[in-house]
């Protein structure tokens, strides 16, 4: 692990502490380049968030607010060392097969590589729901998520927040946040480029301005053939 990676993980561990106070958050995991161990001086920190069903937009609001208040959220030209909050799902949408492309070796590797920080056990449900990705791997018996980075459980205060935001009142707040965020998201989708991968519905929020999965798939097939199995060594030669 080089100094840049160490610096980013130090920042992750510092800010993960705040995530344990977010109501209805079931998992927050590091993903993409930092999870792969491939970062540079300009790298950001990608997070993948799983929320309780019916509280996706409440969770996104809390998480975004926390990182924005502490000046740690990626936005505009402020990228390096900041948290990219671009992928949220609720626990009714754990299976990502619906967003997979044909021969999606990148998504398969991404699923196995996420590193949970906060996890109430839903990571096991997540890997089970995405068992379809197992077939891509050479050693598919080891298809599980590394939970060694789980250092924080939910705070004892968090259930109090969940009680306050439960029931009719919580549903009202969630509905208002959903309509507001979806309206903004659909506005962004209208001006997004052809390389973007944006998905906005009641259960999934995915905002990726550049989606290179087709490029990686084609490079994979050209390099290894259509039937080659995933290993870390092979994967990192094409990304």
Render pLDDT for 6-65 as a digit per residue (tens, 0 to 9): 999 999 999 988 898 999 999 999 999 999 999 999 999 999 999 999 999 999 999 999
**What whole-number distance in Å separates Cα of residue 40 and Cα of residue 42?**
5
* Domains of the chain, start order: 3-212 (3.30.460.10)
The DSSP line for 141-176 is: GG-----TT--B---TTHHHHHHHTSHHHHHHHHHH
Parallel, antiparallel or unpaired: strands 204-208 and 83-90: antiparallel
DSSP state of 117: E
- pLDDT tens digits for 67-117? 999 999 998 889 999 999 989 999 999 999 999 999 999 999 999 999 999
Tokens of 202: 């009641």
- pLDDT tens digits for 112-171? 999 999 999 999 999 999 999 999 998 777 889 999 999 767 777 888 999 999 999 999
pTM of this structure: 0.93
- Identify the residue whose tokens are 């080089």: 2
Q: Which of 156, 207, 160, 165 is nearest to 182 (CA)?
A: 207
- pLDDT tens digits for 196-226? 678 889 999 998 777 899 999 999 999 999 9
DSSP state of 201: S
Q: Are 35 and 115 in contact (CB under 8 A)?
A: yes
**What whole-number distance in Å separates Cα of residue 220 and Cα of residue 105?**
8
**What whole-number distance in Å separates Cα of residue 7 and Cα of residue 239?**
23
- pLDDT tens digits for 173-197? 999 999 999 988 877 766 665 666 7
**What whole-number distance in Å separates Cα of residue 224 and Cα of residue 229?**
9
Position 190 scores a pLDDT of: 67
Q: Are 230 and 105 in contact (CB under 8 A)?
A: yes
């Amino acid at each position: 692990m080089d100094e840049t990676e160490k610096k980013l993980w130090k920042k992750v561990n510092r800010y993960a502490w705040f995530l344990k106070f977010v109501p209805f958050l079931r998992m927050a995991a590091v993903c993409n380049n930092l999870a792969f161990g491939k970062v540079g001086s300009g790298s950001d920190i990608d997070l993948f968030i799983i929320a309780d069903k019916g509280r996706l937009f409440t969770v996104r609001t809390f998480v975004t607010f926390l990182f924005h208040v502490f000046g740690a959220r990626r936005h505009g030209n402020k990228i390096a060392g900041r948290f990219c909050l671009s992928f949220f799902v609720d626990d009714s949408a754990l299976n990502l097969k619906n967003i997979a492309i044909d021969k999606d070796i990148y998504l398969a590797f991404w699923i196995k590589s996420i590193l949970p920080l906060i996890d109430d056990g839903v990571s096991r449900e997540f890997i089970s729901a995405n068992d379809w990705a197992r077939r891509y791997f050479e050693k598919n018996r080891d298809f599980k998520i590394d939970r060694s980075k789980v250092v924080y459980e939910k705070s004892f205060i968090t259930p109090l927040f969940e009680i306050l935001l439960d029931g009719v009142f919580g549903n009202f707040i969630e509905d208002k946040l959903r309509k507001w965020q979806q309206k903004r998201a659909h506005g962004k989708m209208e001006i997004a480029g052809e390389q973007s991968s944006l998905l906005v519905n009641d259960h999934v929020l995915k905002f990726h301005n550049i989606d290179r999965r087709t490029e990686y798939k084609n490079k994979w097939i050209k390099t290894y053939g259509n039937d080659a199995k995933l290993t870390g060594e092979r994967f990192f030669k094409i990304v």
